Every structure is written in structure tokens, then in C-alpha cells.
């Protein structure tokens, strides 16, 4: 197949190479911008300690309600500027929700270096998946269903472990989360490159969630295995 030929999007619309490149370029640009409110949200959460007063159950309910509410609103408004603003508000919220983990890691003697290591590791995964997506010629659309089922099972297991409090299960879920969302990253980037996703707001949302979950999993694992207590 000619790599410069047009492809069909998920909606059946023919997408030219120029359109695919524009969507990918806008996605990467918005993705870079979205990291700013994420960092700001994490900083606000760590500085104020506002999540520390919440129990695990309450914070999980807030996270799920807020995340799914934002994602619904973003998809509904993805074709307008409002979708971009909602996406940036969502990334601030996600940074805020991650602040408890970030605060715990920063409380370790080598916490700052662990955060930077997790950031560097996430960047490495992203660049590896983006590079892989450019060289893989086969259609990866079949991966989506399996990865979605895996993500749902993972979410249910994580919610269940809030009550089970199993350290072994938590470690297994973190490793599984790292693997699933690294694969999701490849799938989502390849989907944009192949013309399967033609809206850069939706594409940014998907890839952002992949990056967020990879970073969070890496940070938690580094905190568990590499953390140095005072």
C-alpha cells in the first residue's frame, strides 16, 4: 500500500495525508500545552494538601465523577474552542487528583529525583511508541477492543483494592497499568497517523490519558521500590 495514499477515518470520510499530518501536529501541540495545567494542578494539590483530608473512598468517587464528567463534556464540544478549554480544565483536575501520590513521593528523601525519573521514563515510553507507530505498517485497530476490556478490568480491580488493601495486588495492577496504557499510546498515536481519528481534541484526550496513566504507574512503582525514607 502506498503510505501517501488517502485513508478512511472511523466515520468513513476520506482523509488525505495533509489532513492526517495536520491532526497529528495539532494533537502534539495541544498535548504539550496540556502538561502545564497538569503540573499546576499537582502543585496546588501538594501545596494545599486539599486531598489529604479525603478518605480513599471519597477521593475515588470524586475522581471518577469528575473524570467521566469532563470526558463526556469534552467529546460533546470537541468541534469548538470550548472543547479545548474543557480539555485544559480537565488536565488541571487530573493534576490535582494526582497530587496525593506526588506529595507522598516528594516526602521521600529522594522524592524530587524520583518524580524526574518518572517524567523521563514516561517521555521515553512516549517517544518509543510514537517512533514505533511510524514504522508499523499493519492496521492496529483490532487492538482497541482488547485494550478497552483490559482497562475496564483494571479499573474495577483498582476500585476493589481500595477495600481489599492488598499490596501484592496493587503492585500487579501498577505493572499491568503500565503495560496496557503503553500499548494504548501506540494504538492511539497510530490511529491518528492512519486517519482513524480526525479530531485533534479527541486525539489529545486519548493520548493524554495514556501518558497520565503511564506516569502515575511509574511514579508509584519508583516510590515503592526506589524510595528512601528519612
How many domains in the chain? 1
Which residues of the chain have a pLDDT value below 70? 1-15, 56, 227, 230
Q: Report yes or no on 3 lying in a domain.
A: no
Residues 36, 16: Cα–Cα separation, whole Å: 31
Q: Report yes or no on 188 lying in a domain.
A: yes
pLDDT digits 0-9 by tens, 107-127: 998 989 999 999 999 999 999
Residues 7, 29: Cα–Cα separation, whole Å: 23
Provide the angle, in degrees to the nearest 10, between the axes of the packed helices 111-135 and 200-226. 140
Q: Report yes or no on 21 lying in a domain.
A: yes
Q: Are 118 and 218 in contact (CB under 8 A)?
A: yes
What pLDDT does residue 2 have?
36
What pLDDT does residue 15 have?
63
Q: Report yes or no on 2 lying in a domain.
A: no
Q: What are phi and psi of 222, to 5 degrees?
A: -65, -40
What pLDDT does residue 80 have?
93
Amino acid at each position: 500500500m502506498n503510505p501517501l495514499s488517502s485513508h478512511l477515518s472511523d466515520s468513513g470520510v476520506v482523509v488525505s495525508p495533509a489532513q492526517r499530518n495536520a491532526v497529528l501536529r495539532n494533537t502534539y501541540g495541544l498535548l504539550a500545552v496540556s502538561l502545564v495545567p497538569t503540573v499546576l494542578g499537582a502543585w496546588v494539590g501538594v501545596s494545599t494538601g486539599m486531598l489529604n483530608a479525603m478518605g480513599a473512598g471519597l477521593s475515588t468517587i470524586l475522581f471518577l465523577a469528575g473524570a467521566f464528567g469532563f470526558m463526556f463534556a469534552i467529546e460533546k464540544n470537541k468541534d469548538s474552542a470550548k472543547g479545548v478549554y474543557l480539555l485544559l480544565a480537565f488536565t488541571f483536575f487530573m493534576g490535582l487528583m494526582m497530587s496525593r501520590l506526588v506529595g507522598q513521593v516528594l516526602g521521600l528523601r529522594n522524592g524530587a529525583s524520583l518524580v524526574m525519573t518518572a517524567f523521563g521514563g514516561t517521555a521515553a515510553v512516549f517517544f518509543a511508541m510514537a517512533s514505533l507507530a511510524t514504522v508499523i505498517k499493519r492496521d492496529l485497530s483490532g487492538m482497541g477492543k482488547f485494550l478497552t476490556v483490559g482497562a475496564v478490568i483494571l479499573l474495577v480491580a483498582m476500585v476493589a483494592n481500595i477495600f481489599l488493601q492488598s499490596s501484592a495486588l496493587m503492585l500487579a495492577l501498577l505493572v499491568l497499568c503500565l503495560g496496557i496504557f503503553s500499548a494504548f499510546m501506540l494504538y492511539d498515536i497510530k490511529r491518528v497517523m492512519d486517519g482513524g481519528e480526525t479530531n485533534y481534541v479527541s486525539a489529545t484526550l486519548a493520548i493524554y490519558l495514556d501518558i497520565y496513566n503511564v506516569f502515575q504507574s511509574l511514579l508509584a512503582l519508583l516510590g515503592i521500590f526506589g524510595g528512601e525514607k528519612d
